[in-house]
């Protein structure tokens, strides 16, 4: 009698002949009726999923998610000292999920797909981050400053190279990963500034922003005085003065 609607349940509806008459389909009722509370003990909530009994977002997430093996490139993006907003954009680009103009044109959302940085080529992942003369300058300096002397001309080449050479957590690998994420983020940010805010920055200003991020990260690293750390900071300082 009304037990299907929690708002209409009355005590009388679950009592019959002076005894409790709980609905059979009431979820969790056995756990409740089998529990004998101590009248003199204070109430407390226990998060049974966590051995400590305390709730945490991590324990809740691990309980509801379906775990899968880590992908080989996991540590290129989600390493211990990553910058969250940089890592997120890098992750989207890694999975080919950034809303680039070539995709928007294909989907019929826009009418033209010219690059917002050079106003000539079609905006694709390889053009925006490599072929575009504007971003090519930024990319060349960034890679030189983190001691990468190999020319990377496509996004797939970048993915393969970083997945192969930046697996560990050494300072050198970490700096390269900071630089990669900061560079991708800065180019994507500049693209959005020009489209949505009608603002433009030159290559020098963007490189200053990238340099500030990388240098500050190195400064906070306990191995900042190592040869690699000093060398990379000196390279960024040299480019900053140009």
Q: Are residues 101 and 15 in the same domain?
A: no
Instruction: Please check whether residue 69 lies inside any domain of the structure.
Output: no
Residue 38: pLDDT over 80: no
Q: Are residues 37 and 151 in the same domain?
A: no
Residue 62: pLDDT over 70: yes
Which residues constitute the domain of residue 41?
Answer: 6-64
Give me the mean pLDDT over the 81-100 stretch: 97
| SS3 of residue 15 by DSSP | strand
Instruction: Please check whether residue 1 lies inside any domain of the structure.
Output: no
Q: Are residues 111 and 219 in the same domain?
A: yes
Q: Are residues 195 and 122 in the same domain?
A: yes
Angle, vertex CA 191, rays to CA 183 and CA 150, nearest 5 = 30
Q: Are residues 44 and 159 in the same domain?
A: no
Q: Are residues 126 and 182 in the same domain?
A: yes
Instruction: Please check whether residue 95 lies inside any domain of the structure.
Output: yes
The answer to whether 113 touches 123, Cβ cutoff 8 Å, is yes
Q: State the chain's mean pLDDT as an integer.
A: 86
Q: Are residues 217 and 182 in the same domain?
A: yes
Residue 3: pLDDT over 60: no
Q: Are residues 106 and 221 in the same domain?
A: yes
Confidence (pLDDT) at 2 = 46
Confidence (pLDDT) at 1 = 45
Q: Are residues 90 and 188 in the same domain?
A: yes
Q: Are residues 56 and 111 in the same domain?
A: no
Q: What are phi and psi of 16, to 5 degrees?
A: -140, 120
140-188 per-position pLDDT tens digit: 999 988 888 777 789 999 999 999 999 898 888 999 999 999 999 999 9
Q: Are residues 86 and 167 in the same domain?
A: yes
Q: Are residues 101 and 25 in the same domain?
A: no
Instruction: Please say which residue of 15, 42, 64 terminates a domain.
Output: 64
| SS3 of residue 207 by DSSP | helix
- Looking at the 3D structure of the chain, how many domains does it have? 2
Residue 6: pLDDT over 90: no
Torsion angle of C-alpha atoms 49, 72, 209, 96, degrees rounded to 10? -100
Q: What are phi and psi of 37, to 5 degrees?
A: -70, 150
């Amino acid at each position: 009698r009304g037990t299907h609607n929690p708002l209409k349940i009355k005590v009388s509806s679950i009592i019959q002949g002076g005894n409790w008459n709980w609905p059979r389909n009431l979820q969790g009722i056995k756990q409740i009726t089998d529990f004998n509370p101590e009248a003199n003990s204070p109430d407390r909530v226990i998060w049974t999923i966590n051995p400590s009994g305390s709730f945490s977002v991590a324990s809740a997430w691990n309980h509801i998610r379906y775990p899968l093996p880590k992908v080989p490139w996991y540590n290129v993006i989600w390493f211990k000292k990553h910058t969250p907003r940089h890592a997120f954009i890098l992750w989207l680009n890694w999975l080919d999920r950034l809303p680039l103009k070539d995709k928007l044109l294909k989907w019929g959302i826009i009418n033209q797909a010219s690059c917002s940085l050079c106003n000539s080529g079609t905006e694709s992942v390889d053009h925006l981050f490599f072929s575009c003369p504007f971003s090519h300058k930024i990319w060349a300096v960034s890679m030189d400053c983190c001691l990468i002397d190999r020319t990377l001309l496509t996004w797939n080449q970048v993915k393969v190279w970083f997945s192969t050479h930046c697996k560990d957590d050494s300072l050198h690998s970490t700096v390269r990963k900071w630089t990669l994420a900061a560079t991708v983020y800065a180019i994507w940010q500049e693209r959005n500034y020009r489209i949505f805010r009608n603002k433009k920055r030159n290559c020098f200003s963007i490189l200053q922003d990238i340099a500030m991020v990388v240098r500050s990260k190195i400064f906070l690293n306990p191995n900042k005085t190592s040869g690699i750390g000093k060398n990379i900071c000196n390279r960024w300082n040299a480019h900053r003065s140009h």
